[in-house]
Amino acid sequence: MQQETSTSAGLMNRFEVTKRIVGMLKAEEAVIGGIGNTNFDLWATGQRPQNFYMLGSMGLAFPIALGVALAQPERNVVALEGDGSLLMQVGCLATIAMVAPTNLKMIVFDNGMYQITGGQKAATGFGADLIAMARGAGLAECAWAADENDLEEKFARALATPGPFLIGVPTDGKKAVATTDRDPPRLRESFMRGIGAK
Amino acid sequence: MLAVEGRGSVADAGWHETLIEVFKGAGISLVTYVPDNVLRPLIDGVHADPYFNVVPTTREEEAVGIASGSIMAGVNAAVLMQTSGLATLANVLASLPSVYQIPVVMVVSERGVLGEFNRGQALVAKTMRPILDSAGVDHCTIRRGDELRFMAERTILQALYTRTPAALILSPLLTGGKTIKK
Ligand SMILES: Cc1ncc(C[n+]2csc(CCOP(=O)(O)OP(=O)(O)O)c2C)c(N)n1
C-alpha cells in the first residue's frame, strides 16, 4: 500500500466514517469500540448487538478484538481505536503482527490529540506516524486513508482479504455525537448474545 | 554475605502438569503471558500442547485484554505472569474483567517473598493482594502440591460460576521459586 502521512491527507469525521464502516457490515461482524469518543460515535450509529463498548481499560480495543478474533475465527472482527489510546498500548501491534489473525480489521482515528480529556496534543499531533509504527511492528497491510471513498475501498478490501489490516483515518476535531450506556454487565451480555456466545 | 543461601527445594515437581490438566478441565484453551522464569515449565508445556492457543504479549494489560475478548466470544482463557506484572494491572482489572464480569483466570508466580534477593521485587509483592482485593478479583495462594488440584479447580470453577476474575498465586513453597544461583 502507498504510504501517506496523516497531515498530508484530508481530515475526516469520526462519526461519519464509523457510519460508513458499520454500513458495510453484512455478516454480523463483531465491532469493538475503544474508550471515549470512539465508542460514543459507534454507539451513535445504532446499537448493533455485535458491538462491544469499552468504558475503561484505555488502549485495549485492539487486544480485546484480537481475543474475539482468535475465539471466533470464522467471524470478521473490526476494532476502532483512538490515536492516544493506541499510543498507550502500541506494543499490541507487534503482537497482532506476530499472531496474524486472518479476521482482524483495525481502524485508528488520528485527531492528533487526547480529545475527550480536553484536547491536549498527543505525540501524533507532533508527527508520530502510527501507520509507520505499525509497519515497523510487522503489519504488512496498513495505510492511511486519503478520504472517505478511499477508506471505503480499503475497508472493503480488508473485509474480503484474510489477514490483519490497519487503516489510519486522519480525523477532525469534532466531538462525538452521543454517549454510551454505562452499564458494563448489560453491554457485555448484549455483545455475547450478539455474537452467539451466550 | 548471608551464611544461609536458599536452594529452593521444589514442593511439587509436577505442579505445571497439574495446572495444564486443570485448564483443560475448565475449557481454558487460550493462554496469554508475559514470561517469568519460575513459570517456564508451564509456558513450555502449553506451547508444546496442541490443545492450547498460546499468545505471548508485550504487556500484562494486553494479555488481560486478549483473554477478556476470548472469554466474551466463548473460549475460556488464562493469563500467566509474575508478581511485577500483576502490579501493573490495577486499572485494567477494575475497569474490564471486574466490572464487565468476565472470568479471566490469572496464574501469578509469586516473586518477592521467601528468599527474594531483589528489594524492588519484595516491595512490588506487597502491592499484589491489596490490588486484587480492591479491584474485585478473587484470589488464593497455593503452597502445597497436595492442595494444588483442588484449589486450582475450585477457584477456577467459582470464577466461571460467579463471572468473577480470579488469580491463582503460586507460592515458592509450591514451585521452588527463584534464588540467586551460585
Ligand atoms: C490509563 C488511563 N490513563 C488516562 C485516562 C484518561 N483518558 C481517558 S480517554 C483519554 C484520551 C483518549 O485519547 P484518544 O484515544 O486519542 O481518543 P480521543 O479522546 O482523542 O477521541 C484519556 C487520556 C484513562 N482513562 N486511563
Residue A49 distance to chain B (closest CA, Å):
13
Residue A29: the pLDDT is 98
Tell me if A47 sits within 8 A of A71, measured CB to CB: no
Residue B4: the pLDDT is 47
Q: What is A140-197 written as a DSSP string?
A: SEEEE--SHHHHHHHHHHHHHSSS-EEEEEEB-SPPPS------HHHHHHHHHHHTT-
Ligand 1: centre distance to CA A58 (Å): 6
Q: pLDDT exceeding 70 applies to what percent of chain B?
A: 93
Instruction: Kindly report the pTM of this predicted structure.
Output: 0.96
Q: Which three cell numbers stand for residue A181?
A: 450506556
**A25 in ligand 1 pocket by Cβ < 6 Å?**
no
Indicate yes or no: CB of A184 within 8 angstroms of CB of B57.
no
ipTM rounded to 2 decimals: 0.96
Tell me if B153 sits within 8 A of B26, measured CB to CB: yes
| H/E run at residue B54 | strand B53-56
List the single best residue of B58, B64, B71, B101 to mutate versus A (max A Cβ within 10 A). B58
Q: In what order do the strands lie in the sheet with B28-33?
A: B53-56, B28-33, B76-82, B105-109, B166-170, B138-142
Find the CB nearest B65 among A60, A72, A94.
A60
Let me know the angle formed at the C-alpha of A86 by A81 and A92, rounded to the nearest 5 degrees: 110
**Tell me, what amino acid is at B132?**
L
Question: Cα B150 vs. chain centroid, distance in angstroms?
Answer: 16
Q: Tell me which long-range contacts B150-153 makes (C-beta under 8 A, separation of at least 24).
A: B152/B18, B152/B19, B152/B22, B153/B22, B153/B25, B153/B26
Region label for A110, one of left (φ > 0), alpha (ψ between -120 and 50) or beta (otherwise): beta
| H/E run at residue B107 | strand B105-109
**A125 in ligand 1 pocket by Cβ < 6 Å?**
no
Over 70: is that where the pLDDT of B152 sits?
A: yes
Residue B2 distance to chain A (closest CA, Å):
40
What radius of gyration, in Å, describes the C-alpha atoms of chain A?
A: 15
Q: Which three cell numbers stand for residue B16?
A: 505445571
Ligand 1: centre distance to CA A35 (Å): 7
The CB density around residue A157, as the number of other CB atoms within 10 Å, is 14
**B162 in ligand 1 pocket by Cβ < 6 Å?**
no
**Domains of chain A by start residue, with CATH:** 14-193 (3.40.50.970)
Confidence of residue B182 (pLDDT cuts 50, 70, 90): low
Over 60: is that where the pLDDT of B169 sits?
A: yes
Cβ-based contacts of A54 with chain B (< 8 Å): 96
Three-state DSSP at B37 gives coil
**Domains of chain B by start residue, with CATH:** 17-174 (3.40.50.970)
**A177 in ligand 1 pocket by Cβ < 6 Å?**
no
Of A91, A24, A28, A101, nearest in space to A60 by CA: A91
Over 90: is that where the pLDDT of B166 sits?
A: yes
| H/E run at residue A65 | helix A61-71
Each residue's pLDDT, cut to its tens digit, for chain A (198 residues) gives 344 444 445 899 999 999 999 999 999 999 999 999 999 999 999 999 999 999 999 999 999 999 999 999 999 999 999 999 999 999 999 999 999 999 999 999 999 999 999 999 999 999 999 999 999 999 999 999 999 999 999 999 999 999 999 999 999 999 999 999 999 999 999 999 999 999
Tell me if A181 sits within 8 A of A187, measured CB to CB: yes
Question: For chain A, which residues lie within 8 Å of any Cβ of chain B, measuring from their own Cβ?
Answer: 30, 32, 52, 54-60, 62-72, 89, 91-92, 94-95, 98-99, 184-185, 187-188, 191-192, 195-197
